RNA sequence: GCCCUGGUGGUGUAGGGGCUAUCAUGCGGGCCUGUCGAGCCCGCGACUCGGGUUCAAAUCCCGGCCAGGGCGCCA
């Protein structure tokens, strides 16, 4: 009788080493592969972190047990109770000789996709059966690295005295400008899904929190259809008072540096699975002025007029010229949002920056406008109505400190850490132009 | 949204007006005691949908839907 309500493993597969020779263990997981050679059966049992071979020689185990194992199907969940056998013939130098096996749940066959890597599947097929796709270690490794990166970011920011905050994702106004928002029904009213915690982070500066961060979803209703855009993404957002853009750039580059180091030391197996050699960048990251970027892009034969945002071709041209991480600074004020502070020496240039990795923008930030009247001015100049910003603007009338901040795309950063080319690879259940399930 | 390309067993593919629609993997059965992408034998399983051209369409044409790549959009 199978005991489903008392299942506990003694070890994960990766914890079983030749040193445990002769020890009894209980392992649980999925049947990765089954090789029946007639008189001996090799069963590869996969769990979260690895695969271990269970070897069933007909002469060493009972006929009933042997027949049971022979009837197993791939991807079924089983418990194996057995004895560790140190063996040079086994993969990893160790295997389990079973004395008892239990089928916990049987898998339906055929599988919607191959979990062993023999036949590759398209991303669309994989996402349709994502839970199965994620059983592959080269896929789950991406998420272990993402998890480690987020952990590292939290530790770093806590150590630097930042307060973690949570801001609403249901918002009333669609007047922030720029990106399209997803409209939703909020009881009898219309509301929207938040595009960014920007205005709330700034209000926390007026609240006297000084240094805040939030790691949360953002929603963009753009019909983009590329390898680097999502309609739901995780933004690592930060805002700090009594400082300028230079200060938050320093924090950002240290945070990125720190995360890469942390992933390198704690995700060795995952990086190996992904065949990634993660290079630790040098600090400080190179700073390139926007004016310089225009010249560099044009020198590559790609047209970029002064005052324009970078086209995809311009980003690629920069990617050809720059290795690793670099900042683009001194952006024209006109192409940046209203809350970006114009430079004191030259108001046509702003205190905004982007952090790039080769041809990919992974973060953008700025010193913000903390002066109420200037902010109202800038809102009007961008063709927006200051009246719809009342609650936000009020925060600037009762003592708002100078401040700066940035937002870092968690998925884009994960692409840099894992080397994957499609941003959908970095989200468990991605939301894009076409996909809303699963 | 625009441009290009495509949609063939569960998965990944070859083919490209008529013949039993190719191959791999998978699945079912058989043989096999050291596999590790196990091997060998037998079997199973497919032309995106709608319309049109034609004696004949999976193949050509039109449209839809879906996907891949590129771009645009992305304060």
Residue nearest to nucleotide B30 (CA to C1'): A38
Show which positions of strand B are touched by protein (CB under 7 A): 1-2, 10-13, 24-28, 31-39, 66-75
For A91-117, give the secondary structure using H, E and C. Answer: HHHEEEEEEEEEEEECCCCCCCCCCCC
In this structure, what token pair is assigned to residue A348? 């046509």
Weakest mean pLDDT among A67-76, A152-161, A220-229, A286-295:
A220-229
In this structure, what token pair is assigned to residue A61? 């185990």
Residue nearest to nucleotide B72 (CA to C1'): A224
The residue among A87 and A224 whose pLDDT is bigger is A87
Q: What is the mean predicted confidence (pLDDT) over A206-219?
A: 95
| Strand B contacted by A177 CB (< 7 A) | yes
**pLDDT for res A236:** 96
| Strand B contacted by A226 CB (< 7 A) | yes
- Residue matched to tokens 């939301």: A431
In this structure, what token pair is assigned to residue A118? 């023999």
pLDDT mean across residues, chain A: 92
**pLDDT for res A387:** 87
- Sign for the CA dihedral angle at A214, A416, A366, A402 comes to positive
| Strand B contacted by A227 CB (< 7 A) | yes
**pLDDT for res A174:** 61
| Strand B contacted by A19 CB (< 7 A) | no
The ipTM (two decimal places) reads 0.86
| Strand B contacted by A384 CB (< 7 A) | no
Question: Are the beta carbons of A424 and A430 closer than 8 angstroms?
Answer: yes
Exposure string for A266-275, b = 16+ CB within 10 A, e = fewer: bbeebbebbe
What span, in angstroms and rounded, lies between the C-alpha atoms of A388 and A336?
Answer: 20
Strands ordered across the beta sheet of A403-409: A163-164, A211-219, A232-241, A403-409, A360-367, A352-357, A325-329, A286-289
What's the CA–C1' distance between A424 and B57, in Å? Answer: 38
Q: Which of residues 323-352 of A touch strand B (CB under 7 A)?
A: 336-338
The residue among A222 and A288 whose pLDDT is bigger is A288
What's the CA–C1' distance between A423 and B53, in Å? Answer: 44
Judged by C1' against the alpha carbon of A177, the nearest nucleotide is B75
Residue A2 pLDDT class (50, 70, 90 cuts)? low
Q: What is the mean predicted confidence (pLDDT) over A194-223?
A: 93
| Strand B contacted by A277 CB (< 7 A) | no
pLDDT at residue A405 tops 90? yes
Task: Report the relative pairing of strands A51-57 and A94-105 from DSSP bridges.
Answer: parallel
Residue A110: asked if its preceding bond is cis (omega within 30°), the reply is yes
DSSP 8-state secondary structure symbol assigned to residue A134: T
Element (H, E) at A237: strand A232-241
């Amino acid at each position: 009788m199978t005991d489903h309500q008392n299942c506990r493993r003694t070890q994960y597969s990766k914890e079983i080493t030749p040193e445990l020779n002769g020890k009894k263990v209980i392992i649980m997981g999925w049947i990765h592969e089954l090789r029946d050679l007639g008189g001996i059966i090799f069963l590869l049992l996969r769990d979260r972190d690895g695969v271990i071979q269970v070897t069933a020689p007909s002469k060493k185990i009972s006929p009933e047990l042997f027949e049971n194992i022979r009837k197993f199907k791939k991807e079924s969940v089983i418990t194996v109770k057995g004895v560790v056998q140190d063996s040079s013939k086994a993969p990893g130098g160790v295997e389990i000789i079973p004395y008892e096996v239990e089928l916990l749940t049987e898998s339906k066959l055929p599988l919607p996709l191959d979990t062993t890597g023999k036949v590759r599947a398209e991303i669309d097929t994989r996402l349709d059966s994502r839970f199965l796709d994620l059983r592959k270690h080269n896929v789950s490794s991406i998420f272990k690295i993402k998890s480690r990166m987020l952990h590292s970011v939290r530790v770093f920011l806590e150590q630097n005295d930042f307060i973690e905050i949570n801001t609403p994702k249901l918002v009333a106004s669609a007047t922030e400008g720029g990106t399209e928002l997803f409209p939703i029904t909020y009881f009898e009213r219309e509301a929207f899904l938040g595009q960014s915690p920007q205005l709330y982070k700034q209000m926390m500066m007026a609240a006297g929190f000084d240094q805040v961060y939030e790691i949360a979803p953002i929603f963009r209703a753009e019909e983009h259809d590329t390898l680097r855009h999502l309609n739901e993404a995780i933004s690592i957002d930060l805002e700090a008072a009594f400082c300028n853009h230079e200060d938050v750039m320093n924090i950002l580059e240290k945070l990125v540096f720190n995360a890469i180091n942390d992933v390198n030391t704690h995700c060795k197996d995952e990086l190996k699975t992904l065949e990634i050699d993660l290079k630790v960048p040098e600090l400080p990251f190179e700073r390139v002025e926007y004016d310089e970027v225009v010249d560099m892009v044009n020198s590559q034969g790609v047209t970029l007029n002064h005052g324009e945002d970078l086209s995809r071709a311009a980003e690629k041209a920069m990617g050809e010229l720059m290795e690793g991480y670099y900042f683009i600074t001194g952006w024209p004020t006109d192409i940046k949002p209203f809350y970006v502070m114009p430079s004191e020496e030259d108001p046509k240039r702003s205190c905004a920056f982007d952090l790039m990795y080769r041809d990919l923008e992974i973060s953008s930030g700025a010193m913000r406008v903390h002066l109420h009247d200037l902010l109202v001015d800038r809102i009007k100049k961008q063709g927006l109505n200051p009246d719809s910003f009342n609650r936000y603007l009020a925060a600037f009338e009762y003592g708002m400190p100078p401040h700066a901040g940035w937002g870092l795309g968690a998925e884009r950063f994960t692409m840099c850490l894992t080397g994957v080319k499609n941003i959908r690879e970095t989200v468990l259940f991605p939301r894009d132009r076409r996909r809303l399930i699963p």
